[in-house]
Amino acid sequence: MIKLKGIAVSLGIGIGKAYRIGQEEVTVPKRKIGHEEISREIYRLEEALIETRREITSLQKKIFQELGFDHSKIFEAHVLVLEDRVLIEDIIQQIKNKKVNVEFAFWTSIKKYMDTLLKLEDDYLRERVNDIDDVARRVLRKLLKKEIVSLKDLKEKVIVVAHDLSPSQTASLPKGNILAFVTDVGGRTSHTAIIARSLGIPAVVGVEIGTKNIKPGEKLIVDGSKGVVVVHPTERILKEYQKKSQQLVKARKAFHIPKVYKAQTKDKKEVDVSGNIELPEELPLVREYGAEGIGLYRTEFVFLGRRDLPSEEEQYQAYVNVARRVKPHSVIIRTMDIGGDKFLSQPQVPKEMSPFLGWRAIRFCLAQPEIFKVQLRAILRAAAEGEMKIMFPMISGIEELRQAKALLEECKEELRREKKNFKADISVGTMIEVPSAAMCADELAKESDFFSIGTNDLIQYSLAVDRGNEKVAYLYEPGHPGVIRLLKHVIETAHKNKIWIGMCGEMAGEPLFAYLLLGMGLDEFSMSPPRVPKVKDMIRNVFFQDAQRAAEKAVTLSTAKEVEKFLQEELKRMLRNEYERIVLT
């Protein structure tokens, strides 16, 4: 038995067999063939190409159904690679002239083209070599008769183990077959973590000594609450975890309480508890866990995993779908929060040394108004069909907010001229996630309809800690006095200026800190859906007055440890025998 330590990013316990995802080494045998074998080798090539084609079109259909037309388009290119006559001719010539087996001819030929692409001075095409590589491996497996078991064909559910998972890899995974995720890299806000949380699948990322020692098929326990992966557990440990896991499932079922379940303290202070989503598919999950509104609708997914830009119509369809389904409750839609390099493949966009401090989110959008305005127009139109509010990420000062609002006004004017239906009085919020914005909250509040604090970034920026870096991740402390004093300042400033304030970062979803935030007067708590029940349970079991008093005291403490310990003791007293269930599990 080995215990691996990592970062706990998605609650729950997964027990099952490891399924490794990654690039396996390819070994292609070389064999001289006789003249009489040539036609048979060519026949095998044709057969493998046809079979692979069948495989790809069925994958395309599946992605089309799950993610829509745009994500499935890339497979058309894959099919064209299989039909590529220059490539096929090249392979056949090798078989005929060099008298080598088809596997070897195929691999050397396609490798030659991949190498050419790798030499191009074009980041995007270099990346896309993966597409061709993927097709090539599929064909090779057919030729070698090595059927790689695909996840979707598995009879049993598995634990996905990988060095890292790309957005497109995660997109093509059959979610129903996954018990847990384990990866070498990443932190709480990495892509895998976000997806895992939104799907309610346990996950441990940033495994310290790596997952390389985990062999395919090996029995694993993934504890997504503690950040522990047990490889090859003993009977005793296994029994222990099985019991724990059953308790969790039972506890989760117990949360299925009807909608009337308000987030109201014992002394009748009511707050909003809403869900964070990325994909419309997560909406049922939000409701299942008892939240109604959406405090953060991330729009990055409309842009990722593709190379062209989504049209206004396409974006409108995506946003209006969410607005309509959540109506009459509100949806806060965040404009794109991605790096500029994701959009422009031209070599003039150099790799950034510190992407977190670089050209992204509102900075990119303001520099590329023609891209940004397409999204703004789509949002304005979608907002007419539901309760949609707009929020700008990464604002560092008032000028950026003004510029963004000016563009929004321009879009309104255009839509008005075009006689299109849109919401003219859409609420505009500022995301508070850059420390300078927090310090200038008074200025920003005067020109915003609401605030939403993004704690994941605010904490990283305030403490100068990259959470994805395992060496310094321990410094990421939400309870750090510097952080909580900043939060107190922002919340008070918002209220002084008569605007409401929410939080859409992880911190709002942790009952311990949610208690502190409640006491500070936060109006809205938005979190990944599975966290909703516990936060609501905490709120319903405490008095607002106690929370206020606790918040006053907490900001006078001098270390994160003291803050956490103090909050734990407070909540232990309030929640009594419910404490363990609500705060610790």
Stretch that binds other proteins, among 114-122, 147-155, 284-292, 484-492 (CB under 8 A): 114-122
Residue of 1, 80, 209, 257 interacting with other proteins (CB under 8 A): 80
Q: What is the 3-state secondary structure (H, E, C) of 172-213?
A: CCCHHHEEEEEECCCCCCCHHHHHHHHHCCCEEECCCCCCCC
Among 29, 35, 69, 121, binds other proteins (CB under 8 A): 121
Do the Cβ atoms of 10 and 196 come closer than 8 Å?
A: yes
The label of the residue with tokens 């809403």 reads 274
Q: Does 124 bind other proteins (CB under 8 A)?
A: yes
Residue 345, CA distances (Å) to 122, 131, 301, 367 in order: 7, 16, 18, 16
- Asked if 120 touches other proteins (CB under 8 A), the answer is yes
- DSSP per residue, 149-169: PPGGG-SS-EEEEES---HHH
Cβ-based neighbour number of residue 295 at 10 Å: 26
Candidate segments 9-17, 112-120, 289-297, 410-418, binder of other proteins by CB under 8 A? 112-120
- SS3 of residue 471 by DSSP: coil
Number of C-beta neighbours around residue 425 at 10 A: 8
Q: How many residues in the shown chain lie near other proteins by CB under 8 A?
A: 27
Q: Using the rule CB under 8 A, which residue among 58, 93, 97, 116 binds other proteins?
A: 116
CB atoms within 10 A of CB 267: 11
3-state secondary structure string across 339-367 = EHHHCCCCCCCCCCCCHHHCCEHHHHHHH
| Residue 393: DSSP 8-state | S
Q: Is residue 504 annotated as a catalytic residue, yes or no?
A: yes
Q: Which stretch in 29-37, 60-68, 117-125, 162-170 sits in contact with other proteins by CB under 8 A?
A: 117-125
- CA distance to 9, 157, 311, 409, per residue, from 416 (Å): 45, 53, 19, 10
CA–CA distance, 342 with 363 (Å, rounded to integer): 14
| Contact with other proteins (CB under 8 A) among 26, 28, 59, 125 | 125
CB of 338 to other proteins, least distance (A): 17
185 counts as binding other proteins under rule CB under 8 A: no
Residue 260 binds to other proteins (criterion: CB under 8 A): no
* Sole binder of other proteins in the list 24, 122, 313, 399 (CB under 8 A): 122
Return the number of the residue (345 or 396) whose C-beta is nearest other proteins: 345
Residue 240: CB minimum distance to other proteins, A? 50
Question: Quick check: 93 binds other proteins (CB under 8 A)?
Answer: no
Q: Contact region for other proteins (CB under 8 A) — 85-93, 99-107, 244-252, 421-429?
A: 85-93
| Torsion, CA 128, CA 131, CA 134, CA 138, rounded to 10 | -150
For other proteins, give the closer residue by CB, 344 or 428. 344
439 binds other proteins (CB under 8 A): no
The reply on whether position 73 binds other proteins by CB under 8 A is yes
Supply the minimum distance, in Å, between the C-beta of residue 268 and other proteins. 55
Distance CA 92, CA 49 (A): 13
CB of residue 466 vs other proteins: minimum separation in angstroms?
A: 31
Q: How far is the CB of 360 from other proteins (least distance, A)?
A: 20
User: Beta-carbon neighbour count of residue 576 at 10 Å?
Assistant: 10
Neighbours of 444 (CB within 10 A): 25
Report in angstroms how near the CB of residue 49 gets to other proteins at its nearest.
14
In this structure, are residues 453 and 504 in contact, taking their beta carbons and an 8 Å threshold?
Answer: yes
Interface with other proteins, residue 84, by CB under 8 A: yes
- Examine residue 553 and tell whether it contacts other proteins (CB under 8 A): no
In the shown chain, the binding pattern of residues 304 to 343 toward other proteins, with x for contact by CB under 8 A and - for none, equals ---xxx----------------------------------
- Tell me whether residue 121 or residue 235 sits nearer to other proteins (CB atom): 121
> For this structure, is 329 an active site residue?
no
Binding flags for other proteins, 126-165, as an x/- string (CB under 8 A): --x--xx---------------------------------
Query: Given candidates 16, 38, 51, 113, which one binds other proteins under the rule CB under 8 A?
Result: 113
Whole-number Å distance between alpha carbons of 458 and 517 = 15
Which range, of 110-118, 295-303, 413-421, 560-568, touches other proteins by CB under 8 A? 110-118
Interface with other proteins (CB under 8 A), residue from 7, 45, 87, 271: 87
Stretch in the footprint of other proteins (CB under 8 A) among 74-82, 169-177, 181-189, 315-323? 74-82
Between 80 and 209, whose beta carbon lies closer to other proteins?
A: 80
Query: If DSSP states are collapsed to H, E and C, what string results for 224-261?
Result: CCCCEEEECCCHHHHHHHHHHHHHHHHHHHHCCCCCCC
Q: Which stretch binds other proteins (CB under 8 A): 18-26, 27-35, 79-87, 211-219?
A: 79-87
Answer yes or no whether residue 171 interacts with other proteins by CB under 8 A.
Answer: no
Q: Which residues contact 327 (CB under 8 A, 6 or more apart)?
A: 385, 386, 387
β-bridge mates for residue 220, sequence order? 16, 231
* One of 25, 35, 36, 86 touching other proteins (CB under 8 A): 86
CA distance 100 to 90: 13
- Kindly state the helix (H) or strand (E) to which residue 498 belongs, with its residue range: none
Of all helices (H) and strands (E), which one includes residue 273? strand 272-277
Longest dimension (CA), the chain: 90
Tell me the three state secondary structure of residue 475: helix
Integer Cα distance of 125 and 132 in angstroms: 11
Point out the catalytic residue in the list 78, 191, 365, 480: 191
- Euclidean distance between CA atoms 222 and 229, whole angstroms: 5
Rule CB under 8 A: say whether 81 interacts with other proteins.
yes
Q: Can residue 346 be called a binding residue for other proteins (CB under 8 A)?
A: yes
Question: What does the binding site for other proteins look like in residue numbers (CB under 8 A)?
Answer: 73-74, 76-77, 80-81, 84-87, 110, 113, 116-117, 120-122, 124-125, 128, 131-132, 307-309, 345-346
Active-site positions read 191, 504
